[in-house]
Amino acid sequence: MTTKIDLPSTSSSCPPFRKLTYDVFLSFRGTDTRTNFTDHLYAALKQKGIYTFRDDEELNRGESIGPNLLEAIEESRYVIVVFSQNYADSSWCLDELAKVAECRRAMGQTVLPVFYHVDPSDVRRQTGEHFGKAFQEHQERFGGNPDKLQRWKDSLAEIGNLSGWHLKDGYESKFIQEIVEKIFTELNQIIPIYEGLVGMDSHLNEMLSYLDIGCPDVRIIGICGMGGIGKTTIAQVVFERVQAQFEGCSFLENVREVTEKQGAVHLQKQLLSDLLECSVNVQNTKKGKSIMRERLRTKMVLIILDDVDQEKQLEALCDRESFGPGSRIIITTRDKHLLVEGDKVYTVNRLTDDEALELFRMKAFKKDQLVREDFLELSEEFLKYANGLPLAIKVLGSSIRGRSVKLWSSALKRLEKNPPKGIIDVLKVSFDGLEKSEKKIFLDIACFFKGGYIDHVTRILHGSDC
């Protein structure tokens, strides 16, 4: 069985001046675990995109470890120490561990011990059949260097007393998954995945409450709003934050566009490939749905279906019964009607005035730039045009960045006659998706009733059989 050991730890976050080259450094006894447990752990970390240092050299080592290895320890955010039965036999491993303990104390390095078929108390106290015997031999060999021996003992006591995992007789794959999930989740929390995204904290908190990860039912969550409002960005941030908590994940971007160009079968293949991590042959959508139901019904997965605009896309990709307990499907769409079968719908609103100004300043001005009063006055005019739409604010701000007041004024005058193509292309998708009669009503309102009262316009349109 595997047992999680929770003991006090004094490690802290690394000082800002510390150079970090690796996410993880693996310390292990090569003859014990190089080709089995440590190799599988290394592969799992690598598969998650976690940059890991593993010493692959089988060398006739001397009494001290080389400078490259010392440097790798110093430049790693995490150190995983795999205490195996013969770990303490190696003076090389013990020197490595002493360096790890030193870095932990001096730089706040996070150290995670793994007790691989050894008793944690034997590690801490250097007792038992393996660690006790090893130190008897070291005493004979290094008795003339008591400082070295004491440094090794202190390091084993310190690292052996940290929170870690104890593998006794359980499944190693599950054990490795726990370790990787912990590191992956923590790395995602410290990486600024939404740096520069205004108002993202509130979006993320709301979505996390809707997802309620850990609840065993399969949930479908919708993110709804007009084009350019930020639906896809919110989905991306949520995906990065929570994906490590699932057995498989898939982010299908631009479902509408991909369906038009390549068909729903292409998306089914991609979904199955992402979740099963292998190529899957799908002849048609019916076959794809059958494969999903058979292969994914016990798997807890996270799926993002981005920019859905037709019910048939959901029929091909979003059968609730096809996924295992605890699975979560997030759908972004402009059409709230498509989310009637969902459990929750998060409607994305326009930015507040303060948020809009913050985003515009980020795009239109250089960092820490002193902004003159005339620029601020023109900024307000641009923001009136953008009306809280993040896409419009980004496009407008970027287009005038670094330009003179005169060019800002000129750009402002051109807006009503010639809006930026980047904005028109996104908004036009919504218009193209309307029925013929709906397009007619839209154009009538845009051309003849702009600024009119809703009740008055509604009566006129009803009177004309629209």
| Integer angstrom CA distances of residue 372 from 365, 375, 404 | 11, 5, 11
Is 377 in the active site?
A: no
State how far the Cα of 30 lies from the Cα of 255, in Å rounded to an integer: 47
SS3 state at 211: helix
Do 244 and 297 form a contact (C-beta atoms < 8 A)?
Answer: no
361 — phi, psi (to 5°)? -65, -35
Q: Which residue out of 96, 247, 257, 260 is catalytically annotated?
A: 96
Q: Which residues pair with 301 in a beta bridge?
A: 248
H helices, E strands: number in the chain: 21, 11
Do 22 and 75 form a contact (C-beta atoms < 8 A)?
Answer: yes
DSSP string, 95-162: HHHHHHHHHHHHH--EEEEEEESS-HHHHHHT-IIIIIHHHHHHHHHHTT-HHHHHHHHHHHHHHHTS
State how far the Cα of 363 lies from the Cα of 457, in Å rounded to an integer: 38
State how far the Cα of 441 lies from the Cα of 463, in Å rounded to an integer: 13
State how far the Cα of 122 lies from the Cα of 189, in Å rounded to an integer: 34
User: In which residue are the tokens 């809703």 written?
Assistant: 454
State how far the Cα of 17 lies from the Cα of 26, in Å rounded to an integer: 23
State how far the Cα of 313 lies from the Cα of 255, in Å rounded to an integer: 8
SS3 state at 345: strand
Catalytic annotation, residues: 96
